[in-house]
Amino acid sequence: MPAPQILTELEPDALAEALAGLGAKAFHARQIYAWLYRRGVADFAGMTDLSKELRARLERTFAIPTPAVTARHRSADGTVKFLLRLGDRREVESVFIPDTPAMTFCVSTQVGCAMRCGFCLTGRMGLLRNLTAGEIAAQVRVMAHDLRLADQRFNIVLMGMGEPLHNYDETMKALRMLAADCGLGVNPRRVTLSTVGVLPALERLATEPLMPNLAVSLHAATEELRDRLVPVSRKYGLADLIAACRRFPVARRERITFEYVLLRDVNDGVADARRLAALLHGIRSKVNLIPLNEAPGIPYRRPPDARVDRFARTLAERRVVVSVRKSRGRDIRAACGQLIVEGARQAPAQRAAALLDWSSRSSA
């Protein structure tokens, strides 16, 4: 018997094409998408508006893998962190953040991360593997139905484990699947993609017909400091990143968000704020300040609130739109930079191989 085709990796048109080989009609693809995404039914037997004969053929031809929720932690502020087990028994963390001001799902794009930012726990895992488009979309599908929110409007942020632009094709395919009107119908304007600035992929993103909001993880206003905090900057420098952001098409009344993790006595001084304002001058942007979420193994400290306020005021005085992110889920280690699956770290040789492979592919 041939191995079953993975249905959750197919966009609606591709599913319709695959169904045609079974003698099914194109509209059956839309019905299946509705069952899977809108109703959360991942078993052909439950898709009762399909004929029994078609359901039997689908059962023989396709598989519908769905990540299993192996742990669920709820914060005092209502944030919920999900630990999801994939088909190969790898695990990722995804987060539901209520009232932000809409409901928000924070989704992972990789198991681990190769970027190695010095203040982020996920980078300590190294990169174990990319997620497929179906696995990325499935996080939203699972959380939405677990929390009974599939029929409500919500936002998606690609700010979980991994660098979305390091897994470009699968990430963009997942967003198309989530945007399908026969499924959850998530408008790209309700999606934010956060990147440290993988330049070839960022320039490619600028040409996409389906374009999410862009958030750039900056964290420093000088080349030397960013090289230290965000090692990928040694390959794609700060000046080149800012130039790419200046070219990036921004919709009317929209802005590029620049995320800036504040580290005590490292990048949180008034001079740092002045440099940041000068660096972003002329870009339609806003700055999201994120006081560090401290964790064991992170060699930096959170600045005092007064220092955070002074940094924000310095930016505002220079007409920079600025906000300070309120950390959510810190008590369950679900806040920004805190996602890590214990026991899943790579050996140094594996991590080096993954980085070498990424470097050679991104230079091609």
Q: 91 is written with which tokens?
A: 């695990």
Nearest to 33, CA basis, from 55, 58, 15, 6: 15
Q: Given the structure tokens 């769905």, which residue do they identify?
A: 66
Q: Which of 70, 75, 127 is nearest to 333 (CA)?
A: 75
At 194 the three-state DSSP class reads strand
Distance CA 184, CA 150 (A): 7
Contact 301, 263 (CB under 8 A): yes
At residue 316, the 3 state secondary structure works out as: helix
Query: How many residues make up the chain in this entry?
Result: 364
Q: How far apart are CA 97 and CA 82, in angstroms?
A: 11
| CA atoms within a 13 Å half-sphere pointing along the CA-CB vector of 98 | 10
- Report the b/e string of 266-280 with b at 16+ CB within 10 A: bbbeeebbebbbebb
Q: What is the DSSP string of 196-211?
A: S--HHHHHHHTT-SS-
Q: Are the beta carbons of 68 and 57 closer than 8 angstroms?
A: no
Q: Which residues are catalytic?
A: 93, 336
CA dihedral 263, 267, 270, 276 (to 10 degrees): -120
